[in-house]
Structure 1
Amino acid sequence: MRKGLVLVVMCVAMLFAAAPSASAQAPSDEYKATLEKMLELSGSMASAKAMVPQMISMLKQQSSASASFWDGFQKKWEGKFGSKLAELYAPVYQKYLTLDDLKKIVAFYESPVGKKLGASTPAMMAEGMQIGQKLGMEIATELQQELQAQGK
């Protein structure tokens, strides 16, 4: 169970690790809204939101709270996750992309090929994660074999 909690904490940390503590100029509401739209259209938001039920499921194992509590907690976070993510990512994106840049990216994602890419991104991310897990297991297996060969 402790391993599951550590995994959840690591996933959340990876999502929010890039969020700075302070920015020279706070992103405007328009910037945050445009970023959230871009994340939605690109499929990135769907991939991130898919983690909420997984995190809640793992957290459930650490608590004896009622099912109705967990249902409400999950619904609350599913509702606010996107805007919270955009709010935390906005200072990072603002360091590299202007509002005009984001608007042009949104325009791309509203094009036919952009829509196709956005719709395909969550599935590609899921498949990519599976590939990454397999590669990680291969690395771990090879490491164990080499350590055993050295008697360590």
Structure 2
Amino acid sequence: MGELSNCPRCNALFMKGVRTVCENCYKEEELQFEKVYQYIKKKQNRSATVDDVIESTGVERELIMKFVKEHRLHTSMFPNLSYACEKCGSSIQEGKICNACTKEIKEGLKREQDIEDVRKTNLAREQESRAYVSGVYSRNRHK
């Protein structure tokens, strides 16, 4: 079952579940989606940018971006519809972050893994060295 929440658009109470807005706002979003879809499905509008769609339909940028992120508007069919990378803000057409940010994150994780590997190796050597010194000390003490 969903949880009781306030609609982010109109502040009405609703049960949050699959939908992230109340029933009335959902219906309004569907009307807005239909308006956007009817505009961009026309052959002459398929290469429209987000700004073109906003100007022609009056639908808010955030709502159009929501439709793209939810894959309701496929960027493969509409190549100029894109949204901002959540890390750097550059335009992307799929995922949450751009390729450059993905690469940067992967490199950072690899560096951290390499540091952890060196730390574990040094710790193992240190423990081995202590065991050796401890063993030598014990043998010499009993002579």
- Tell me the TM-score normalized by structure 1: 0.30
Q: Pick the structure with greater CA Rg.
A: 2
Higher relative contact order (CA 8 A, sep 6+): 1
- Tell me the TM-score normalized by structure 2: 0.32
| Greater percentage in helix | 1
